[in-house]
Amino acid sequence: MKAFVVEKYGKGGARAAQVPEPTVGDRDVLVRVSATSVNPLDKMVRDGDFKRLLKYRRPFVLGHDVAGVVTRVGSAVHGFTVGDEVYARPRDLRIGGFAEFIAIDQDDVAPKPASLTFEEAAAVPLVALAAWQVLFDRAHVKPGQKVLVHAGAGGLGSTVIQLAKHLGATVATTASSRSEELVSSLGADIVIDYAREDFSRVLSGYDVVIDAVGGENLEKSLTVLKPGGLAVSVVGPPDAGFAEQLGAPSLLGVVLNALSRRIRKKAESLGVRYQFFFMRADGAQLRKLGALYDDGVLRPVVDRIFPFDRTLEAMAYVEQGRTGAGKVVVSMMPRPSST
């Protein structure tokens, strides 16, 4: 089958290749991929940013999102049959959405939301799970609380805005002026044009900040939190909790804590908290999220769709920051011919 694999770590390390179809274990479903999507995490894995924690054996197939059709099930699989339309974020060390087929553990798979196309569904799993796990599992957001979401027009930000509003929060976001109408339509109560205004000078008393920018932006985010508030970053620096989540040796946790010491100390001095976040695969949560999409509570935001043969171009498009809003999708589906 055709796939896009990481042969060596680094910017030029991914290429198209012919690889064997995956082996299907007892607990696996084999999915014919209809669409996938590109995430910043794909670049980070390709570049080897997590190679000490996620020990992939090269060459390996890249891609963290999948929507497609089940073509085979393992002997211990329950609840899925051949022909089912599904979507998933395969677990770490078993990714591989940039391929014609992928074998996925049944616990990571959920029925595709009936209201979404395959291409829309492929834009959802990673960012929807991340939003759910940050807001429910980490921050325990409650009605009436205040949530700041950075990069609100992005794949993660656009999903967090919608889910936070569903939970009854007041939501502020940073975005470009061209995205103001979009993020407002998703539910943002306050929109800060980051090119014209410093959010840290106009916002205060927030319960939660979700950061996908990092650096100075993260440090400023600490200052808008109320005492005891929580800043969660998906871009780092990582902490010992990340090593523990991945089952890494405790010594590596010590190293990661050293990397995040500066931001954690600053948070402590301000009476607030900092946590690094790395989402996990969870089919049960995807089922709950699927119901929210079908009920119209959530909607996917898709920036552009690339054909499968142009997967590396899609990655470059995301990497160069050319995305306008939402996710970049890679489709196996036939496209209408131009006339």
Is there a single domain that holds both residue 134 and residue 242? yes
- With CA atoms as reference, report the closest residue to 73 among 114, 105, 100, 97: 105
**Amino acid identity, position 9:** Y
- My answer on whether 106 and 149 are in the same domain is no
pLDDT digits (tens, 9 = 90+) for 185-231: 999 999 999 999 999 999 999 999 999 999 999 999 999 999 999 99
Number of domains in the chain: 2
pLDDT in tens, 269-324: 999 999 999 999 999 999 999 999 999 999 999 999 999 999 999 999 999 987 87
Domain holding 32, by residue range, is 2-123+300-331
State the DSSP code for 99.
Answer: B
On whether residue 154 sits in a domain, the answer given is: yes
Do both 28 and 130 map to the same domain?
A: no
Q: Are residue 155 and residue 194 in the same domain, yes or no?
A: yes
Find the helix packing angle between 283-294 and 125-132, rounded to 10°.
100
319 in the same domain as 254: no
Residue 21 lies in a domain: yes
| CATH number, domain with residue 81 | 3.90.180.10
Report pLDDT digits (tens) over 6-53.
Answer: 999 999 999 999 999 999 999 999 999 999 999 999 999 999 999 988
Residues 78 and 131 in one domain: no
Predicted pLDDT at 339: 37
Q: Kindly state whether residues 157 and 258 are assigned to the same domain.
A: yes
Q: If DSSP codes are grouped into helix, strand and coil, which group holds residue 31?
A: strand
* Helix runs in the chain, H state only: 40-46, 118-122, 125-132, 155-166, 180-186, 199-202, 216-223, 240-245, 250-259, 261-269, 283-294, 311-319
Same domain, 151 and 272: yes
Q: Give the sheet arrangement for strand 2-6, strand by strand.
A: 14-18, 2-6, 60-61
pTM to 2 decimal places: 0.95
Judged against a pLDDT cut of 60, whether residue 266 lies above it is answered with yes
